[in-house]
A and B are shown apart, each in its own frame.
Chain A
Amino acid sequence: MKRVLAPLILVAVLLGGWEIACRILAVPSYLLPTPSAIWSAFLASWPLLLGSAWATLSTALLALVIASLVACALALAVSLNNLLEDAVRPIAVTLQVTPLVAIAPLVTIWAGIDHPERAVIGLAAVVAFFPIFSGALTGLKAVDPDLARLFDLYGASPLQRLIRLRLPSAVPALLEGHKVAAGLAVIGAVVAEFVAGSGGAQGLAWRILEAYNRLQTAKVFAALLTLAVLGVILHTAMEWLERRLLDSWRGR
């Protein structure tokens, strides 16, 4: 109970301090709106914000699914062939260390100027790809060496080894990779919306840009608040899902 209460009290104190400081110092609202003004802005536009949150979330989830399919297939292919792994890994790492915003213009061009939503999905998928690929590859190799020896002793075929040993052994690392990727997909979707930034994509990033262009700082904060809540909900959901699946994997 105390552990739940402590952060709530801290937030309340910080918000109170912020409200009072803004009023006493008469800070202009375009610079730093008061929490109460942000709350009013949120109440005034919550249906729109919720719609945008859904747009961002569905984009991120779709990107996650695409990234998952591609990353798992590639990791599987690579894990079966060491030469292929040596060939693919540096490319995957290069892709991962290249900033998303830097490749965004290219992807936007390829997706077609008329389809910014495709560019956003593609970019979010690029960010989500690496943790899943890396997790899947680590997992496929994280086989208990003694268990592998037993499979040798039992004369298991390569296919039996893959299906009955390597794939099930990969589950924990695979789940971890998807959890990390889900968070990154949302960040990727928001960043991509900023860069692709046109009216076609109606995500939360667009709400922030729109309010920013009109100097409606309270609305910027309201959109940020929605984004933060979305992130927390997604993180909690993925954590719960990971735990549930992991528990059923090892039978608790």
Chain B
Amino acid sequence: MTSTIASLAGVEVDYARGRALGPVDLALAPGEIVALVGPSGCGKSTALRLLAGLEAPTRGQATRAAGRGETSVVFQAPTLAPWLSARDNVALPLELAGAATAEARAAADEALRKVGLGGALTVRPAQLSGGMAMRASLARALVTRPRLLLLDEPFAALDEITRRALADDVLALAAELTPAVVFVTHNVEEAVYMARRVVVMTPGPGRIAGEIAIDGPVVRPPGFRVTEAFRAAAETVSALLARATERAA
């Protein structure tokens, strides 16, 4: 690989209750969209936190070419500060990095417009629906124009229609801003839809069971979910996941 934006090399993580992850090797090229799929408790989220630099591996190495300000994370919950408006929540990363308030707010307004929340700039998180709060969270992650965007089951708490709409929005924004994206999910179809490369993990302690490349443009064309290619890829990922789970059992 010529250049990597982030990588895990022989990484293992031990918690008090035992091995949680690894050994895992994973390298991300700039602008690449990777989905990490696996059953609950396989260490997907741990892998994500290692890539973000929020956690250190027990053994092995986690490296990032993207600097601190160039990495963004979206969690399963929107994780917005309830005392701040949508605008101030999104402006927060810029302000913490030392940007002037006016400048940070202008950038926040633009990011919120991009995710379709241009009409809810001054609204507090308590008044946002689940989908809207998730969009605000996404805007906060994108406002810093990250080179590495890490999404930890971001749609898990949303209904099917909202999650599909959000999936398309994330892909459109990824195509525009071209960060490398790691998308953690336990939903096979979502992984195949989102990613150009699906990495399947075994049950805990998670290892990489295999990888499947998914073709097609980043922004999926309408009807992509019913194409033969999509169905076939989803079948392959499901089979790989089933085999990995079986072997572990």
Instruction: Tell me, in angstroms, the Cα distance from A190 to B198 when the chains sit together.
Output: 70
Q: How far apart are the CA atoms of A168 and B81 in the complex, in Å?
A: 9
- Structural contact, B81 and A154, CB atoms closer than 8 A: no
Bound together, the chains give a CA A252 to CA B68 distance in angstroms of 34
What is the minimal beta-carbon distance from A163 to any residue of chain B, in angstroms?
11
The answer to whether A155 and B69 touch across the interface, beta carbons within 8 angstroms, is: yes
From residue 123 to 155 of chain A, which have CB atoms closer than 8 A to chain B? 144, 146-147, 149-155
- Taking a contact as CB atoms closer than 8 A, the residue among A144, A154, A168 that contacts B96 in the complex is A154
C-alpha gap A160/B127 in the complex (Å): 26
**Residues on the A chain within 8 Å of B52, using CB:** 153
User: CA separation between A156 and B69, bound complex, in Å?
Assistant: 11
- Please, which residues of chain A bring their CB within 8 A of the CB of B69? 154-155
Q: Is B61 an interface residue (CB 8 A)?
A: no
Q: Do the beta carbons of B73 and A251 come within 8 Å of each other?
A: no
Q: Which residue of A lies closest to B141 (CB)?
A: A150
Task: A171 to B82: give the CA distance in the assembly, Å.
Answer: 11
Q: Is the CB of B54 within 8 A of A249?
A: no
CB distance from A169 to the nearest CB of B (A): 8
| Number of residues on chain B facing chain A (CB within 8 A) | 25
B126 touches A150 (CB 8 A): no
Q: Which of chain A's residues 198-219 have a Cβ closer than 8 Å to chain B?
A: none
Q: Is A164 at the interface (CB under 8 A from chain B)?
A: yes
Asked, given contacts A149-B54, A160-B96, A164-B96, whether A250 binds B83 with beta carbons under 8 Å apart, the answer is: yes
- A161-199 CB mask vs B (1 if < 8 Å, else 0) is 000110010010000000000000000000000000000
A251 touches B81 (CB 8 A): no
Contacts of A147 in B (CB 8 A): 79, 81
Ordered by A's residue number, 5 sampled pairs between the chains whose C-beta atoms are within 8 Å are A146-B77, A164-B92, A168-B83, A250-B124, A251-B82
Residues of B near any A CB (own CB < 8 A): 49, 52-54, 68-69, 71-73, 75, 77, 79, 81-83, 85, 92-93, 96-97, 123-127
Closest 6 CB pairs of A and B: A251-B124, A146-B79, A154-B96, A250-B82, A168-B83, A146-B75
Given contacts A152-B54, A153-B53, A251-B124, 10 further A-B contacts (CB under 8 A): A147-B81, A153-B71, A153-B73, A154-B68, A154-B93, A154-B96, A165-B81, A168-B81, A250-B83, A251-B85
